[in-house]
Amino acid sequence: MSFESFAEFIDMGGHGLYVWLSYAIALVVIVINIVNPLMHKRHIFTEQARRLRREKQS
Amino acid sequence: MADKKWMPRWFYQLASPRWCYEITGKLLPLFVIAAILLLVTGTVWALAFAPADYQQGNSFRIIYIHVPSSILAQSCYMLMAVAGAIGLIWKMKVADMVAKCCAPIGASIAVLSLATGAIWGKPTWGSWWVWDARLTSMLILFFLYLGIIALNSAIESERTAAQSTAVLALVGLVNIPIIKYSVDWWNTLHQPATFKLTERPAMPAEMWVPLLVMVIGFYCFFAVAMMLRLRNEIIQRERRSSWVRDLIAG
Amino acid sequence: MSTPRLKIDNLFCERDERVLFEGLCFEVNAGEVIQIEGQNGSGKTTLLRILSGLSRHFEGDIYWQGEHLDNCAQAYRESLLYFGHQPGVKAVLTPRENLQWYASLHPEMDLTKLDYALVKVGLKGYEDVPCHTLSAGQNRRVSLARLYLSRAPLWILDEPFTAIDKRGVAEKEALITTHAQEGGTVILTTHHELAMGDKIRRLNLDQLAGTL
Amino acid sequence: MSTPRLKIDNLFCERDERVLFEGLCFEVNAGEVIQIEGQNGSGKTTLLRILSGLSRHFEGDIYWQGEHLDNCAQAYRESLLYFGHQPGVKAVLTPRENLQWYASLHPEMDLTKLDYALVKVGLKGYEDVPCHTLSAGQNRRVSLARLYLSRAPLWILDEPFTAIDKRGVAEKEALITTHAQEGGTVILTTHHELAMGDKIRRLNLDQLAGTL
Amino acid sequence: MKRDLLLSYRRKSDLVNPLIFFLMVATLFPLGVSPDPTFLADVAPGVVWVAALLATLLSMDSMFRSDFEDGTLEQILLSPQPLYLVVLAKVLAHWMLTGLPLTLLAPVLGVMLFLPAEGMGGLVLSLLLGTPTLSLIGAIGAALTVGLRKGGVLISLLVLPLYIPVLIFGSAAVQGAVTGLPLGGYLAILGAMLSLGLVMAPLAIGAALRISVSG
Amino acid sequence: MKRDLLLSYRRKSDLVNPLIFFLMVATLFPLGVSPDPTFLADVAPGVVWVAALLATLLSMDSMFRSDFEDGTLEQILLSPQPLYLVVLAKVLAHWMLTGLPLTLLAPVLGVMLFLPAEGMGGLVLSLLLGTPTLSLIGAIGAALTVGLRKGGVLISLLVLPLYIPVLIFGSAAVQGAVTGLPLGGYLAILGAMLSLGLVMAPLAIGAALRISVSG
Ligand code: HEM
Ligand SMILES: Nc1ncnc2c1ncn2[C@@H]1O[C@H](COP(=O)(O)OP(=O)(O)OP(=O)(O)O)[C@@H](O)[C@H]1O
Ligand SMILES: Nc1ncnc2c1ncn2[C@@H]1O[C@H](COP(=O)(O)OP(=O)(O)OP(=O)(O)O)[C@@H](O)[C@H]1O
Ligand SMILES: [Mg+2]
Ligand SMILES: [Mg+2]
Three-class SS of chain A: CCCCCHHHHHHHHHCHHHHHHHHHHHHHHHHHHHHHHHHHHHHHHHHHHHHHHHHHHC
> Distance, CA E91 to ligand 1 centroid (Å)?
45
Chains A and F touch (3+ CB pairs under 8 A): no
Residues of E in contact with C132 (CB under 8 A): 149
What pLDDT is attached to residue F128? 94
**C144-158 pLDDT, tens per residue?**
999 999 889 999 999
When CB atoms are compared, the residue of E11, E71, E86 closest to D92 is E11
In this complex, how many residue pairs, one in chain E and one in chain F, have their CB atoms less than 8 Å apart? 133
Q: Does residue A10 form part of some domain?
A: no
What pLDDT is attached to residue F201? 95
What pLDDT is attached to residue F204? 95
Whether ligand 1 lies within 6 angstroms of the CB of B180 is answered as yes
Judged by its nearest atom, the ligand closest to the C-alpha of residue D138 is 3
Q: Residues 6 or more apart from E148 whose CB is under 8 A from it?
A: E154
Name the minimum distance, in Å, from the CA of F113 to any CA of chain C.
37
**Reported confidence tier of residue E81, pLDDT bands at 50, 70, 90:** confident
What pLDDT is attached to residue E153? 64
Q: What is the mean pLDDT of chain A?
A: 84
CA distance linking residue F187 with residue F167, whole number of Å: 12
- Is E168's CB within 8 Å of F32's CB? yes
What pLDDT is attached to residue F112? 85
Whether ligand 2 lies within 6 angstroms of the CB of D40 is answered as yes
Phi, psi for E77 (deg, rounded to 5): -65, -30
CA distance linking residue C163 with residue C178, whole number of Å: 22
Residue with CA closest to ligand 1 atom 41: B193
Over 70: is that where the pLDDT of B113 sits?
yes
Closest CA relative to residue E93, chosen from E143, E66, E132:
E132
Residues with a beta carbon under 5 angstroms from ion ligand 5: C 135-136; D 45
**E195-207 pLDDT, tens per residue?**
999 999 999 999 9
- Ligand 3, from D133, D135, D139: best to mutate by most atoms within 8 Å of Cβ? D135
Q: Does residue A32 form part of some domain?
A: yes
- Is D137's CB within 8 Å of C166's CB? no
**Reported confidence tier of residue D192, pLDDT bands at 50, 70, 90:** confident
What pLDDT is attached to residue B202? 64
Give the number of domains in chain A.
Answer: 1
Over 50: is that where the pLDDT of B2 sits?
no
Q: Does residue A6 form part of some domain?
A: no
Spell B82-121 as b/e; 16+ CB within 10 A means b: bbbbbbbeeebbbbbbbbbbbbbbbbbbbbbbbbbbbbbb
DSSP E115-130: --TTHHHHHHHHHHHH
pLDDT higher at E152 or C14: C14
Over 60: is that where the pLDDT of C1 sits?
no
**Reported confidence tier of residue B4, pLDDT bands at 50, 70, 90:** very low
Chains that touch D (3 or more CB pairs under 8 A): C, E, F
- Per-residue pLDDT, averaged over C40-66, amounts to 91
What pLDDT is attached to residue B198? 54
Which C-chain residues 77-106 have CB contacts (< 8 A) with chain F?
A: 77-78, 80, 82, 84-93, 97, 100-102, 104-106
What pLDDT is attached to residue E154? 75
Flag whether residue F184 sits within 8 Å of chain C, measured between CB atoms.
Answer: no
- Is B139's CB within 8 Å of E24's CB? no
Flag whether residue F149 sits within 8 Å of chain D, measured between CB atoms.
Answer: yes
DSSP state of B57: B
What pLDDT is attached to residue E51? 84
- Is E112's CB within 8 Å of B131's CB? no
> Distance, CA F155 to ligand 4 centroid (Å)?
29
**Reported confidence tier of residue D196, pLDDT bands at 50, 70, 90:** confident
- Is E80's CB within 8 Å of D88's CB? no
- Ligand 3, from C13, C16, C58: best to mutate by most atoms within 8 Å of Cβ? C16
**D90-120 pLDDT, tens per residue?**
887 889 988 988 888 888 887 888 899 999 9
pLDDT above 70 coverage of chain A, percent: 83
Q: Does residue A28 form part of some domain?
A: yes
CA Rg value for chain A = 23
Over 60: is that where the pLDDT of E10 sits?
no
Judged by its nearest atom, the ligand closest to the C-alpha of residue D162 is 3
> Best of F21, F47, F154 to disrupt the E interface by mutation (most E CBs within 10 Å)?
F21
pTM (predicted TM-score): 0.86
Q: Does residue A5 form part of some domain?
A: no
CA distance linking residue C109 with residue C113, whole number of Å: 9
Q: Does residue A12 form part of some domain?
A: no
Least confident window among A9-18, B36-45, C134-143, E60-69: A9-18
Closest CA relative to residue D130, chosen from B241, F63, E13, A44:
E13
CA distance linking residue F149 with residue D132, whole number of Å: 9
Q: Does residue A4 form part of some domain?
A: no
**Torsion sign across C-alpha atoms B123, B129, B135, B140:** positive
What pLDDT is attached to residue E11? 52
- Per-residue pLDDT, averaged over D124-142, amounts to 89
Q: Does residue A3 form part of some domain?
A: no
Residues of F in contact with D92 (CB under 8 A): 149-150
- Is F158's CB within 8 Å of B150's CB? yes
Question: What is the residue-level pLDDT of chain F in tens, covering all 215 positions?
Answer: 555 565 555 555 555 667 777 777 777 778 777 778 888 888 888 888 888 888 888 778 778 888 888 888 999 999 888 899 889 988 988 888 888 888 998 898 888 888 888 888 889 999 999 999 999 999 999 999 988 866 566 888 889 889 988 888 888 888 888 888 888 888 998 999 999 999 999 999 999 999 999 87
What pLDDT is attached to residue B1? 39
Name the residue range of residue A39's domain.
Answer: 23-58
**D24-80 pLDDT, tens per residue?**
888 898 889 999 988 898 889 999 999 998 988 889 999 999 899 888 888 999 999
- Is D86's CB within 8 Å of E69's CB? yes
